[in-house]
């Protein structure tokens, strides 16, 4: 743990010229949280890079198509290039293909993981109590098991997972990916970014919803004043 | 333009009564905004039908969960129509619960309001069924297991109720079941409009006759419009900023026949009525509990022994507030994971519910009448 | 007295116009709200992005080599996109249309500005059958176009019928060139 911190600090110092604007790791927070929050596109793109590099090897995301990635700021050419790098059974992936499922069916997945099939990540943030924070805590929650706990074979101790024993090995390490925007890729940063990406994957329309919602609520507040005033005027004129 | 009216009238005589309906001075000169609730509920139901119609164009019972994901991600504004339908359910049940509470508060079930009250409870029960079917159609983790336990319960019943249960579901849960439940969901929702109309007829009988009243237009059309706008404002805040309010987050994940979630709770609006599975054990226990609650509500006009026409006294209102607290606590408790103390509390709160209606209410209302 | 009566009448008239303004504003704003609410319902019935990509697909033609054709299936129908060689254009450009079984000129068969591309539906107009001839090694018939393996009809590189029982030229689907490299169908 200590070495991790020193390494992270060293990387932070080295990366100082490219330092990010504010520290979103202590405490962990995301720009999409809150009533007026919106997705941080840079974080989503970094998170997608982590997802493609690390998570996509074992997890499927069958509700997502590659063309949906224009929602995190990629151009059509970038997505087409990205997709063509993904090898499906029928050849290179195209824009209209679903995110690659690493296993052809659940039987193959169960065989590869002794029954602990990696869940589909399309709606994982929405489908777990705690959402984004839960995913972040899970990814950063690996620790040494306490002395009084015997781990099941093939399982790891995780502070966030219900039951504290998870079959997924710690997926993230420092420097596992190279971020294009120069942000230091510490394990915690990778976890925060992939949690942001998975939040977007669960709810791609969150920004649009809040934007339309703000306009709708303001308009309806105005209209309610007008409507109530009209009703009172109509009643006063004769009753 | 003056020639148009008589031209249409001679060919469509109903127009005359249509216009008279809007102009006839039969409505009271003052009515609180809360009295617009039945019309708001009707309007919200129409909105549900419209959003449900659009959803049904893309919903596929053979691949329900994925078809809903497709709606959310690929249909233009599909996410919004879906959110309209979900939040609309919350708004309707919120309004219905509030409306029932208001009827208890004002004692509007007393003579001559018994038939109106009966239709209100019938509408409530039918809406619960429609809401439950809609919840099951989402085919999330919790919906799937809720349906699985309901179907196995229905098939486990003996005798005539068992026959009804088997007939209703028509087989083990799966694609075929969802396909028929979609149709039931839609047909029963339309049946609610029939009950709403009967309620409207009953309300006209229950309200006192008005001489020198005012017409529907423009006095009450303006009030209904203002009420609708405020209702829409609350709806907008929920639909855009909290569309999954009251939903179990697990239900947003796909159903897996190999994974049983820790707690399978029904949707929030069923909790005040259906949260008694632990209190009355077994399938018969759940059926008895739900029917008993509805039966107690239906019997209310006769359980309340106060004189008709008298407004509710302080004691009655206090008892009602305690009852509301009891129901809210029961609902909140039902959302917690099962535990021993939870069971004990649930039994006590349920007992109080029936105690209020079967003991406290007759006793204290008879006292008030004297 | 007359002053106050006049004042109250003026006030009443002002009141009336304020009421009417409020009512008009009420109705107008209400209509805007209804329209805004109705729009998502209406738009949801329009084809989704995926539906449009199926109904109006975009095909990249920059990779087609001369004298070969790309076979592309659009809603179940095979479409051939062929790139003509100079010799094929020269041989077919000035053929008198009336001498053909189904008269058509060169300009009828290609889009202006993109005369080296021929886009046809690859189905024989005689006996229903898919044509061969996309690859230079395929049997193309005497006119270096396409031939039908079922009834022996032969076509030229522009898709005009030249021999055999087929009565009509190959059908041309509805398409536009978005730019030099992309065709959109539909």
pLDDT tens across B69-98, in order? 999 999 999 999 999 999 999 999 999 999
Helix (H, G, I), strand (E, B) or coil at C164: coil
Q: What's the farthest any 2 CA atoms get from each other in chain A?
A: 83
Q: Which helix (H) or strand (E) holds C70?
A: strand C69-74
Percent above pLDDT 70 for chain A: 90
How many whole angstroms separate alpha carbon B302 and alpha carbon B307?
11
First to last CA, chain B: 64
Q: State pLDDT tens for residues B95-152.
A: 999 999 999 999 989 888 899 999 999 999 999 999 999 999 999 998 998 888 888 8
Q: Does domain A29-64+99-204 have CATH number 1.10.760.10?
A: yes
Which chain C residues touch A if contact means CB-CB below 8 Å? 18-19, 22-23, 25-26, 29-30, 32-33, 36, 49-50, 53
How many whole angstroms separate alpha carbon A99 and alpha carbon A65?
6
Closest CA to C155 of C175, C125, C177: C125
Q: Which residues does chain A have within 8 Å of residue B226's beta carbon, measured at their own beta carbons?
A: 224, 227-228, 230-231
Q: State pLDDT tens for residues C39-79.
A: 999 999 988 877 877 888 888 888 899 999 999 899 889 99
Q: How far is CA C9 from the centre of its chain?
A: 67
Would you state the pLDDT for residue B248?
86
Instruction: Tell the burial category of B236 from Cβ atoms under 10 Å away from its Cβ (0-12, 13-18, 19+).
Output: buried
How many whole angstroms separate alpha carbon A227 and alpha carbon B36?
15
- Give mean pLDDT, residues A45-63: 94
Q: Which residues does chain B have within 8 Å of residue A124's beta carbon, measured at their own beta carbons?
A: 253
Q: Are C131 and C147 in contact (CB under 8 A)?
A: yes
Predicted confidence band at A58 (pLDDT cuts at 50, 70, 90)?
very high
Q: State pLDDT tens for residues C64-122.
A: 999 999 998 998 899 999 999 999 999 888 888 888 999 999 999 999 999 899 999 99
- Give mean pLDDT, residues B195-209: 89
B229 and A223 within 8 Å at the Cβ level: the answer is: yes
Percent above pLDDT 90 for chain A: 58
Instruction: Tell the burial category of B288 from Cβ atoms under 10 Å away from its Cβ (0-12, 13-18, 19+).
Output: middle
Would you state the pLDDT for residue A125?
95
| C-alpha torsion sign, points A76, A79, A85, A87 | negative
Residues ≥6 apart with Cβ < 8 Å to A130: A137
How many whole angstroms separate alpha carbon B155 and alpha carbon B141?
21
Rounded (5°) CA angle B304-B305-B311 = 75
How many whole angstroms separate alpha carbon C82 and alpha carbon C73?
14
C44 and B74 within 8 Å at the Cβ level: the answer is: no
Report the b/e string of A132-164 with b at 16+ CB within 10 A: bbbbbbbbbbbeeeeeeeeeeeebbbbebbeeb
B67 or B310, greater pLDDT: B67
**Does position B228 have pLDDT exceeding 90, yes or no?**
yes
Q: Does C43 touch chain B (CB under 8 A)?
A: yes
Residue of chain C minimizing CA distance to A234: C19
How many whole angstroms separate alpha carbon C122 and alpha carbon C81?
9
Predicted confidence band at A19 (pLDDT cuts at 50, 70, 90)?
very low
How many whole angstroms separate alpha carbon B30 and alpha carbon B2?
34
**Does position A6 have pLDDT exceeding 80, yes or no?**
no
Would you state the pLDDT for residue B83?
97
Instruction: Tell the burial category of B141 from Cβ atoms under 10 Å away from its Cβ (0-12, 13-18, 19+).
Output: buried
- Give mean pLDDT, residues C170-177: 93
Q: Which residues does chain C have within 8 Å of residue A230's beta carbon, measured at their own beta carbons?
A: 22-23, 25-26
Would you state the pLDDT for residue A15?
45
B129 or A76, greater pLDDT: B129
Q: Does B238 touch chain A (CB under 8 A)?
A: no
B134 or A113, greater pLDDT: B134
Lowest pLDDT segment from A42-46, A77-81, B207-211: B207-211
Would you state the pLDDT for residue B276?
56
Would you state the pLDDT for residue C15?
63
Q: How many CA atoms lie within 13 A of A65 on its CB side?
A: 16
Q: Who among C30, C40, C46 is closest to B225 (CB)?
A: C30
Predicted confidence band at B306 (pLDDT cuts at 50, 70, 90)?
confident
Q: Does B367 touch chain A (CB under 8 A)?
A: no
Q: To the nearest whole number, what is the mean pLDDT of chain A? A: 87
Residue ranges of the domains in chain A?
Answer: 29-64+99-204, 206-239
CA distance A216 to chain B (A): 7
Q: Are B317 and B368 in contact (CB under 8 A)?
A: no
- Give mean pLDDT, residues C128-154: 90
**Does position A78 have pLDDT exceeding 60, yes or no?**
yes
Check residue C118 and report its DSSP letter.
E
How many whole angstroms separate alpha carbon B105 and alpha carbon C158?
84
Q: Are B272 and B288 in contact (CB under 8 A)?
A: no
Q: Who among A35, A127, A228 is closest to B249 (CB)?
A: A127
For chain C, percent helix, then strand, then coil, each to nearest 5?
35, 20, 45
Q: Are A168 and A118 in contact (CB under 8 A)?
A: yes
How many whole angstroms separate alpha carbon C32 and alpha carbon C26?
10
Q: Which residues pair with C117 in a beta bridge?
A: C83
Q: Are C119 and C175 in contact (CB under 8 A)?
A: yes
| Residue ranges of A 120-159 with Cβ closer than 8 A to chain B | 120, 122-124, 126-129, 131
How many whole angstroms separate alpha carbon B87 and alpha carbon B81?
10
Would you state the pLDDT for residue C8?
58
CA distance A7 to chain B (A): 37
Q: How many CB atoms lie within 10 A of CB B111?
A: 10
Q: Which residues does chain C have within 8 Å of residue A209's beta carbon, measured at their own beta carbons?
A: none
B76 and C48 within 8 Å at the Cβ level: the answer is: yes
- Give mean pLDDT, residues A229-238: 87
Residue of chain A minimizing CA distance to C29: A223
Q: Does A225 touch chain C (CB under 8 A)?
A: no
Q: What is the side-by-side strand order in the sheet with C77-83?
A: C69-74, C77-83, C117-121
Predicted confidence band at A16 (pLDDT cuts at 50, 70, 90)?
very low
CA distance C71 to chain A (A): 17
Give the long-range contacts of residues C135-144, CB within 8 A, separation 24 or more: C135/C68, C135/C69, C136/C67, C136/C68, C144/C88, C144/C91
Q: How far is CA A234 from the centre of its chain?
A: 53
How many whole angstroms separate alpha carbon C99 and alpha carbon C96?
6
**Does position A224 have pLDDT exceeding 90, yes or no?**
yes
Q: Who among A67, A222, A229 is closest to C22 (CB)?
A: A229
Q: Which residues does chain A have within 8 Å of residue C23's beta carbon, measured at their own beta carbons?
A: 230, 233-234
Q: Which residues does chain A have within 8 Å of residue C32's beta carbon, measured at their own beta carbons?
A: 219
B76 and C43 within 8 Å at the Cβ level: the answer is: yes
How many whole angstroms separate alpha carbon A173 and alpha carbon B368?
74
A226 and C33 within 8 Å at the Cβ level: the answer is: no
How many whole angstroms separate alpha carbon B305 and alpha carbon B167?
41
Q: How many CA atoms lie within 13 A of A107 on its CB side?
A: 0
Residue ranges of the domains in chain C?
Answer: 2-46, 53-185
Q: Does B138 touch chain A (CB under 8 A)?
A: no
Q: Which residues does chain C have within 8 Å of residue B67's beta carbon, measured at their own beta carbons?
A: none
Give me the count of residues in chain B.
370
C44 and B78 within 8 Å at the Cβ level: the answer is: yes
Q: For residue A158, what are its two tokens? A: 């995780």
Highest-confidence range of A209-218, C60-69, C173-182, by mean pLDDT? A209-218
Q: State pLDDT tens for residues B149-186.
A: 888 888 888 888 888 888 888 876 666 789 999 999 99
Helix (H, G, I), strand (E, B) or coil at A157: strand
Predicted confidence band at A10 (pLDDT cuts at 50, 70, 90)?
very low
Q: Which residues pair with C81 in a beta bridge?
A: C70, C119
**Does position A8 have pLDDT exceeding 60, yes or no?**
no
Q: State pLDDT tens for residues C2-17.
A: 556 656 565 666 666 6
Residue of chain C minimizing CA distance to B83: C40
CATH of domain C53-185: 2.102.10.10
Percent above pLDDT 90 for chain B: 49
Q: Where are the beta strands (DSSP E) in chain C?
A: 58-60, 69-74, 77-83, 117-121, 146-147, 154-155, 161-163, 175-179, 182-185
B253 and A63 within 8 Å at the Cβ level: the answer is: no
Q: State pLDDT tens for residues B1-54.
A: 556 678 888 898 898 888 888 888 888 888 899 999 999 999 999 999 999 999
Query: Angle at which helices B282-298 and B340-355 pack, to 10 degrees?
Result: 30
Predicted confidence band at A18 (pLDDT cuts at 50, 70, 90)?
very low
How many whole angstroms separate alpha carbon B226 and alpha carbon B228?
5
**Does position C34 have pLDDT exceeding 90, yes or no?**
yes
How many whole angstroms separate alpha carbon A97 and alpha carbon C23?
53
B102: left (phi over 0), alpha (psi -120 to 50) or beta: alpha
CA distance C182 to chain A (A): 14
Check residue C64 and report its DSSP letter.
P
Q: Which residues does chain C have within 8 Å of residue B51's beta carbon, measured at their own beta carbons?
A: 41
Q: For residue B208, what are its two tokens? A: 């006192």
Percent above pLDDT 70 for chain C: 90
Q: For residue A31, what are its two tokens? A: 């720009």
B75 and C40 within 8 Å at the Cβ level: the answer is: no
Highest-confidence range of A15-19, B245-249, C24-28, by mean pLDDT? C24-28
Q: How many CB atoms lie within 10 A of CB B320?
A: 17
Would you state the pLDDT for residue B174?
62
Q: How far is CA A63 from the centre of its chain?
A: 14
Chains linked to C by 3 or more Cβ pairs within 8 Å: A, B
How many whole angstroms separate alpha carbon B225 and alpha carbon B40?
10
Q: How far is CA A102 from the centre of its chain?
A: 19
Would you state the pLDDT for residue B217?
85
Residue pairs spanning A and B at CB distance below 8 A: 95
């Amino acid at each position: 743990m200590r070495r991790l911190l020193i390494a992270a600090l060293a990387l932070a110092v080295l990366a100082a010229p490219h330092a990010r604007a504010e520290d979103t790791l202590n405490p962990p927070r995301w720009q999409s949280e809150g009533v007026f929050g919106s997705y941080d596109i840079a974080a989503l793109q970094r998170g997608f890079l982590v997802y493609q590099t690390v998570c996509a090897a074992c997890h499927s995301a069958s509700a997502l198509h590659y063309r949906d990635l224009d929602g995190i700021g990629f151009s059509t050419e970038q997505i087409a290039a990205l997709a063509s790098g993904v090898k499906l059974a029928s050849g290179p992936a195209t824009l209209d293909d679903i995110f690659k499922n690493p296993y052809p069916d659940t039987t193959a997945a169960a065989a590869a993981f002794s029954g602990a099939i990696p869940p589909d990540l399309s709606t994982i943030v929405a489908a777990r109590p705690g959402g984004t924070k839960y995913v972040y805590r899970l990814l950063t929650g690996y620790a040494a098991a306490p002395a009084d706990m015997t781990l099941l074979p093939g399982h790891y101790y995780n502070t966030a997972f219900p039951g504290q024993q998870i079959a997924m090995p710690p997926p993230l390490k420092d420097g596992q990916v190279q971020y294009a925007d120069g942000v230091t890729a510490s394990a915690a940063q990778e976890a925060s970014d992939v949690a942001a990406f998975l939040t977007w994957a669960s709810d791609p329309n969150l920004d649009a919803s809040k934007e339309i919602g703000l306009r709708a609520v303001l308009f309806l507040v105005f209209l309610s004043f007008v409507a109530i005033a009209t009703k009172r005027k109509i009643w006063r004129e004769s009753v | 333009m003056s020639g148009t009216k008589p031209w249409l009238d001679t060919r469509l005589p109903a127009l005359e009564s249509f216009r008279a309906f809007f102009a006839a001075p039969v409505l009271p000169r003052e009515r609180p905004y809360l009295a617009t609730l039945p019309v708001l509920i009707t309007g919200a139901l129409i909105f549900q039908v419209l959003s449900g119609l659009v959803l049904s164009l893309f919903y596929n019972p053979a691949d329900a969960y994925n078809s809903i994901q497709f709606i959310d991600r690929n249909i233009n504004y599909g996410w919004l129509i879906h959110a309209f339908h979900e939040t609309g359910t919350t708004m309707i049940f919120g309004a219905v619960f509030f409306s029932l509470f208001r009827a208890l508060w004002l004692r509007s079930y007393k003579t001559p309001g018994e038939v109106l009250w009966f239709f209100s409870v019938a509408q409530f029960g039918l809406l619960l069924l429609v809401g439950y079917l809609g919840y099951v159609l989402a085919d999330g983790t919790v919906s799937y297991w809720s349906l699985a336990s309901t179907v196995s319960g229905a098939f486990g019943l003996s005798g005539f109720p068992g026959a009804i249960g088997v007939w209703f579901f028509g087989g083990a849960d799966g694609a075929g079941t969802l396909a028929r439940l979609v149709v039931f969901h839609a047909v029963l929702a339309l049946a609610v409009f029939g009950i709403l109309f009967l309620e409207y007829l009953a309300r006209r009988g229950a309200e006192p006759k008005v001489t020198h009243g005012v017409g529907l237009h423009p006095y009450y059309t303006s009030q209904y419009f203002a009420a609708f706008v405020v209702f829409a404002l609350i709806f907008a805040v929920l639909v855009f900023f909290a569309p999954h309010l009251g939903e179990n987050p697990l239900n947003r994940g796909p159903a897996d026949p190999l994974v049983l979630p820790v707690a399978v709770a029904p949707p929030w609006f069923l909790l005040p009525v259906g949260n008694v599975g632990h209190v009355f054990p077994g399938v018969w226990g759940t059926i008895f509990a739900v029917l008993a609650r509805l039966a107690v509500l239906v019997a209310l006009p006769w359980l309340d022994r106060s004189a008709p026409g008298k407004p509710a006294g302080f004691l009655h209102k206090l008892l009602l507030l305690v009852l509301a607290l009891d129901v809210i606590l029961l609902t909140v408790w039902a959302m917690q994971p099962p535990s021993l103390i939870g069971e004990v509390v649930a039994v006590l709160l349920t007992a109080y519910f029936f105690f209020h209606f079967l003991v406290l209410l007759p006793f204290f209302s008879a006292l008030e009448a004297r | 007295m007359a002053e106050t009566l006049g004042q109250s009448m003026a006030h009443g008239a002002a009141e009336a116009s304020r009421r009417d303004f409020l009512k008009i504003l009420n109705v107008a704003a209400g209509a805007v709200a209804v329209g805004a609410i109705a729009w998502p319902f209406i738009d949801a019935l329009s084809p989704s992005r995926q539906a449009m990509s199926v109904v109006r697909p975009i095909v990249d033609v920059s990779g087609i080599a001369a004298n070969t054709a790309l076979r592309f299936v659009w809603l179940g129908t095979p479409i051939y996109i062929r790139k003509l060689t100079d010799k094929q254009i020269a041989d077919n450009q000035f053929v008198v249309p009336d001498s053909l079984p189904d008269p058509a000129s060169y300009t009828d068969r290609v889009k202006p500005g993109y005369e080296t591309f021929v886009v046809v539906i690859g189905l024989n107009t005689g006996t229903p059958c898919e044509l061969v001839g996309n690859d230079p090694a395929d049997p193309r018939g005497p006119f270096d176009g396409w031939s039908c393996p079922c009834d022996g009809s032969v076509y030229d590189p522009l898709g005009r019928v030249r021999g055999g029982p087929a009565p009509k030229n190959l059908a041309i689907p509805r398409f536009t060139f978005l730019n030099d490299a992309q065709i959109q169908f539909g």
